[in-house]
Amino acid sequence: MKAKALRLYGKEDLRLDEYELPEIKDDEILARVVSDSICMSSYKAAMQGEDHKRVPENIKEHPVIIGHEFCGDLVKVGAKWAHEFKEGEKFSIQPALNYKGSLAAPGYSYEYIGGDATYIIIPNEVMEMGCLLHFDSDNFFGGSLTEPLSCVAGTFHAMYHATRGKYEHDMGIVEGGKMAILAGVGPMGLAAIDYITHCDRCPSLLVVTDIDDARLTRAAQVLPPEEAAKKGIKLIYANTGKVEDAHKFMMDFTDGEGFNDVLVFAPVAPVVELADSILAQDGCLNFFAGPSNPAFSAPFNFYNVHYAGTHVVGTSGGNTDDMKECLSMIGQGKLDPAILVTHIGGLNVARETTLNLPKVPGGKKLIYTHISLPLTAIADFEEKGKEDPMFAELAKIVAKTNGLWNAEAEKYLLEHAPAI
C-alpha cells in the first residue's frame, strides 16, 4: 500500500516522500499513525544526520522515518501477534527498545516505522521488547504525549541519594525534600511539574525557574500552586533573569541549606553552574536537557563532590514501565497531556517544524499525519476563525477546557481538515 512519511537522508535533509510499503511478515504489524508530537530530539537527529548515535550511517540509500512520539491504530496484525493485539485498537509506543543492547529506535533508525508517517510497519523487536502498548482512550494525542511524560517519570526514578558511611543508593528523589527545576517551563518542564506534583513521592518545596515572564505565567495557569498545595507541595515560579545574584536568590528559598534534588531542563552552561551551586548535602543534579553540541560542558564543583557528596546523573528517556505508569496516571486523571500542546499542524508542515523547532515558541507541536494544515498556535484559533469557520469552531471547543487541546477538538479537526 502507499504511504507518506517524512524521511531523513542526511544532515538537515528531510523529505516528505510517498512510497510503497512492502507486505508485512507474520511477525510484523501494519499500523496507521494519527498523531505525532515533535520532540527536540528529532530536531537534533535532523541536524546531525548520520552522526547521531541512533541514526544509521547508510541513510542516503536507506532513509529513516523521523518522529518517535506517536499514536495511531492497528490495521493488520501478523499471525505471531494476533493473540495479543487486535486490528482497530489504538496503540502507543515506547521507542527506547534497548533491543540486544542497540540504540536503534523507531523515529531514528528504521525505514518503515516512525511518527511522521501515514502508515508504518511495526517490526517484531518492538513487540518482543514489550514496547507496543495498548492505548484505551477517546483521543490519539494522549498516546503521543505518553512518551515525553514517561521521560520525565524516568528522570525522577533515576535520581538517587545515599547515607554517609553506607554503600547503598536510595533511588528516587528525597520525599518531602526541597526540589528545584531550572529552565523548567518549556514543554518537558511542564510535564515534569505535572508528574512530580501528582505522583506518590513528592517534595515539600518545588521552585521552578525561567527567564521569561510569559512562559512562567502560562505555567502557573495550567499548573497552579493551589493545585500542588493539595499534595502538601509549596510550588513557586521564579524569574531568575531579573535578579543580580541567582545563587543567593535560590538559596534563600531553602534558608541557605540548598536543594536535595535539582533538575536542569536547558543545555546552558550558566544554568548547570547554578544548579551545581545550590545543591544541598548529598544533593542530586539531574541533567535532563540533551545538548545538540557533542562538546557541551560546564564547570562542576568537585570540592562539594568530595566533601558534601553532591552528584550528577543524566537521563534521556524513560522505559516501558515508566510509560505504563504514565498511561495509568492519565487514565486516573492525575496527568493531563493537553497542557503540553500549544500548536497543531498537518504532515505537510512536519519538515519545516522539525528543522526550525528551537525557533518556534511555545510547547509541544502536534502533527496530525493524515491532514494538511499550517502549523497553528491554539491561542490563534479565535483570530483565524474570523476568516476560517473550522478554526472558529475549534476556538469554541478549546474554550471549554480553558484553551487546552482536547478530544472533542481532535475529533472535529480530523473530520474537517483537508487530507494530506
User: What's the CATH code of the domain at 105?
Assistant: 3.90.180.10
| Domain end residue (candidates: 107, 136, 165) | 136
Does 97 share its domain with 221?
Answer: no
| Residue with the larger pLDDT of the pair 77 and 96 | 77
Note the pLDDT of residue 187: 85
Indicate the average pLDDT of the chain: 95
Dmax (CA) for the chain in angstroms is 69
* Backbone phi and psi for residue 30, each to the nearest 5 degrees, phi listed first: -90, 130
CATH number (domain holding residue 296)? 3.40.50.720
Mean pLDDT calculated for residue range 251-265: 98
Q: Does 318 have pLDDT greater than 90?
A: no
Tally of structural domains, the chain: 3
Q: pTM of the full predicted structure?
A: 0.86
Q: Are 196 and 272 in contact (CB under 8 A)?
A: no
- Provide the domain limits for residue 159: 150-314
C-alpha–C-alpha distance, residues 311 and 397, integer Å: 47
Percentage of the chain exceeding pLDDT 90: 90
Q: Which of 101, 136, 171 is the C-terminal boundary of a domain?
A: 136
Q: Report the pLDDT averaged over residues 173-193.
A: 95
Query: How far, CA to CA in Å, does 196 sit from each of 207, 288, 358, 399?
Result: 12, 15, 26, 27
Same domain, 185 and 98: no
Mean pLDDT of 46-50: 96
How buried is residue 389: exposed, middle or buried, by Cβ count under 10 Å (0-12/13-18/19+)?
Answer: exposed
**Phi and psi of 73, rounded to 5°?**
-135, 155
CA atoms within 13 A on the CB side of 391: 19
Q: What is the pLDDT of residues 6-17, one digit of tens each?
A: 999 999 999 999
Q: State the cell numbers at 89.
A: 485498537
The single residue listed with the C-alpha cell 547554578 is 274
Q: Does some domain include residue 408?
A: yes
pLDDT of residue 289: 86
pLDDT at 363: 86
Backbone phi and psi for residue 8, each to the nearest 5 degrees, phi listed first: -100, 125
In the structure grid, which three cell numbers stand for residue 337, read together?
497531556
Closest CA to 33 of 108, 119, 109, 113: 119
Using pLDDT thresholds of 50, 70 and 90, give the confidence band for residue 54.
very high
In this predicted structure, which of 35-44, 120-129, 328-337, 371-380 has the lowest mean pLDDT? 328-337
pLDDT for 259 equals 98
Q: Which of 420, 372, 369 is nearest to 120 (CA)?
A: 369
| Share of residues in the chain with pLDDT > 70 (%) | 100
The pLDDT of residue 316 is above 80? no
Between vectors from CA 284 to CA 282 and to CA 290, what angle results, nearest 5°? Answer: 160
- pLDDT(292) > 80: no
Residues 309 and 371 in one domain: no
User: Does residue 165 sit in the same domain as residue 304?
Assistant: yes
